[in-house]
């Protein structure tokens, strides 16, 4: 690598430096890196249909792990196995150092008491108030009525229900009921929270509050959280994203320093149909590079090696034959796809108009991305044909 390229890379990374620091603080340290959950070689059948294939997974204290994947891919089944809600057929799951394989129903009930569940159809007791519903969960652990009442009140206030403590579920909206369910799950300070689409029924602000609460709990007491979600807005809360397809774990990505890239991509229209898992995968392969005004990124006639997205600054696309500017591209725009799609040399020159940071994706990763995501492929094809 030439000195200038090295310099470009270094400056590009500095641009993302604050993000990396923020993320490192959340990662488990050596001292706490004993997994809360260890899943090994788990398969599961419903009748003669195998719905989980050889799942291996570890969850660490304080981690928030997003689980994504198409409907029917086995997310809920895996969550219910980890949560000891159904018995394990094959493989091994340790939850807080307890092996779930071979446990009796009664023993599984004991395991469940130590966990927080936020599942769809929140199953609140209709005859009890919000406060009583939450307190009931605490009474499984302690009979100190005053302390339980205090804690129930505190956590209901934290989810924004301080004004509704004495209402029964029927008097609450869907979102409010969901928040009671969240409060009930978190009140006993479980060391593992399993949440199946917890923000699906919530408005953006309440969804945000729930996620903040989960993060806070993780930080304060090392709770590990698994969140099944399709919600791109939650991306920034995640430490890891795991992706299930057809009963298999197809990727397990530490979001780490690609977090900000991920968030950025989720706002680029070409990536709008991506799941958080697919975005994280692309983001992991993208490299930020800094360019100065006047730099040539590639020349007309060059062989195509990379695809580019403008993160910051501006890039001018110039046709040499007509000596004409075709476009000035700013943050969120992408370029360089035409030659990659056609296999032809570059049909224009790209020059930095204003000092720019570009996210770049190598040819092979670009092609892998194309074959995976239909929406991205279709949009690029459409642009490609319109430009010809």
> Which DSSP state fits 167?
-
Alpha helices in 57-169 (DSSP H): 75-82, 105-113, 130-139, 145-158
Is residue 258 within the footprint of ligand ADP (CB under 6 A)? Answer: no
Is residue 77 within the footprint of Mg ion (CB under 5 A)? Answer: no
> Residue 238 burial by CB count (10 A; 0-12/13-18/19+): exposed, middle or buried?
buried
DSSP labels, 199-231: TTTS-HHHHHHHHHHHHHHHHHH--EEEEE---
Single out the residue of 8, 26, 75, 164 in contact with ligand ADP (rule: CB under 6 A). Answer: 75
Is residue 76 within the footprint of Mg ion (CB under 5 A)? Answer: yes
- Identify which of 74, 73, 75 has the alpha carbon closest to the alpha carbon of residue 65: 75
Span of 2-10, 69-77, 329-337, 369-377 interacting with Mg ion by CB under 5 A: 69-77
Is residue 258 within the footprint of Mg ion (CB under 5 A)? Answer: no
CB of 46 to ligand ADP, least distance (A): 3
Q: Which is nearer to Mg ion, 196 or 257 (CB)?
A: 196
CB of 178 to ligand ADP, least distance (A): 18
Single out the residue of 68, 77, 209, 349 in contact with ligand ADP (rule: CB under 6 A). Answer: 77
Q: Which does 51 bind (CB under 5 to 8 A by kind): Mg ion, ligand ADP, none?
A: ligand ADP
Is residue 188 within the footprint of ligand ADP (CB under 6 A)? Answer: no
Is residue 73 within the footprint of Mg ion (CB under 5 A)? Answer: no
DSSP labels, 126-142: TTS-HHHHHHHHHHTT-
CB of 226 to Mg ion, least distance (A): 12
Read off φ and ψ for residue 360, nearest 5 degrees: -120, 145
Is residue 223 within the footprint of ligand ADP (CB under 6 A)? Answer: no
Q: How far apart are CA 222 and CA 27, in angstroms?
A: 11
Is residue 121 within the footprint of ligand ADP (CB under 6 A)? Answer: no
CB of 75 to Mg ion, least distance (A): 5
Is residue 289 within the footprint of Mg ion (CB under 5 A)? Answer: no
Contact between residue 74 and residue 247 where contact means Cβ atoms under 8 Å apart: yes
CB of 194 to ligand ADP, least distance (A): 12
Size of the site for Mg ion (CB under 5 A): 1
Is residue 2 within the footprint of ligand ADP (CB under 6 A)? Answer: no
- Identify which of 340, 337, 321 has the alpha carbon closest to the alpha carbon of residue 329: 337
Is residue 269 within the footprint of ligand ADP (CB under 6 A)? Answer: no
Read off φ and ψ for residue 179, nearest 5 degrees: -70, -35
Q: Which is nearer to Mg ion, 121 or 343 (CB)?
A: 121
CB of 105 to Mg ion, least distance (A): 23
The number of residues in the chain equals: 388
Single out the residue of 1, 25, 30, 46 in contact with ligand ADP (rule: CB under 6 A). Answer: 46
DSSP labels, 278-299: HHHHHHHH-EEEEE-TT-EEE-
Q: How far apart are CA 76 and CA 85, in angstroms?
A: 11
Read off φ and ψ for residue 44, nearest 5 degrees: -145, 135
Is residue 76 within the footprint of ligand ADP (CB under 6 A)? Answer: yes
CB of 77 to Mg ion, least distance (A): 8
Q: Which is nearer to ligand ADP, 276 or 313 (CB)?
A: 276
Span of 58-66, 69-77, 107-115, 123-131 interacting with ligand ADP by CB under 6 A: 69-77
Find how far residue 349's CA is from the centre of its chain. 36
Q: Which is nearer to Mg ion, 81 or 358 (CB)?
A: 81
Strands (E), the chain: 37-46, 49-59, 64-68, 90-95, 98-99, 115-118, 192-196, 224-228, 240-245, 248-254, 287-291, 296-298, 306-319, 324-329, 334-335, 349-362
Size of the site for ligand ADP (CB under 6 A): 10
Is residue 229 within the footprint of Mg ion (CB under 5 A)? Answer: no
Q: Which residues bind ligand ADP (CB under 6 A)?
A: 46, 51, 69, 71-77
Which residues of this chain interact with Mg ion, rule CB under 5 A? 76
């Amino acid at each position: 690598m030439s000195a200038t390229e090295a310099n470009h890379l270094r400056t590009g990374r500095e641009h993302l430096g604050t993000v990396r620091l923020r993320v490192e603080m959340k990662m488990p340290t050596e001292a706490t890196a004993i997994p809360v959950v260890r899943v090994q070689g788990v398969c599961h059948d419903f009748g003669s249909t195998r719905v989980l294939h050889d799942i291996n997974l570890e969850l660490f204290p304080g981690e928030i792990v997003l689980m994504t994947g198409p409907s029917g891919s086995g997310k809920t089944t895996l969550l219910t196995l980890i949560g000891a809600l159904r018995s394990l057929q094959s493989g091994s799951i340790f939850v807080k150092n307890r092996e779930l394989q071979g446990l009796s129903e009664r023993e599984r009930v004991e395991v469940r008491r130590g966990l927080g569940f936020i599942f769809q159809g929140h199953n609140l007791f209709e005859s009890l108030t919000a406060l009583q519903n939450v307190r009931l969960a605490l009474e499984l652990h302690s009979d100190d009525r005053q302390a339980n009442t205090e804690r129930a009140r505190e956590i209901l206030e934290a989810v924004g229900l301080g004004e509704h403590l004495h209402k029964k579920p029927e008097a609450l909206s869907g979102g409010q009921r969901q928040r009671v369910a969240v409060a009930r799950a978190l009140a006993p300070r479980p060391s593992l929270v399993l949440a199946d689409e917890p923000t699906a029924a919530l408005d953006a602000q309440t969804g945000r509050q729930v996620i903040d609460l989960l993060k806070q709990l993780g930080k304060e007491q090392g709770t590990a959280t698994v969140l099944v979600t399709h919600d791109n807005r939650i991306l920034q809360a995640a430490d890891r994203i795991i992706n299930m397809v057809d009963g298999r774990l197809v990727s397990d990505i530490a979001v780490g320093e690609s977090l900000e890239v991920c968030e950025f991509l989720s706002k680029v229209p070409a990536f709008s149909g991506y799941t958080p898992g697919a975005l994280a995968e692309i983001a992991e392969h993208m490299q930020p590079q800094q360019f100065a005004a006047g730099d040539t990124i590639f020349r007309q006639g060059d062989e195509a090696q990379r695809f580019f997205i403008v993160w910051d600054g501006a890039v001018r696309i110039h046709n040499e034959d007509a000596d004409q500017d075709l476009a000035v591209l700013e943050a969120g725009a992408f370029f360089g796809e035409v030659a990659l799609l056609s296999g032809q040399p570059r049909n224009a020159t790209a020059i930095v108009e204003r000092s720019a940071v570009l996210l770049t994706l190598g040819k092979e990763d670009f092609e892998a991305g194309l074959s995976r995501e239909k929406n991205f492929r279709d949009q690029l094809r459409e642009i490609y044909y319109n430009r010809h």
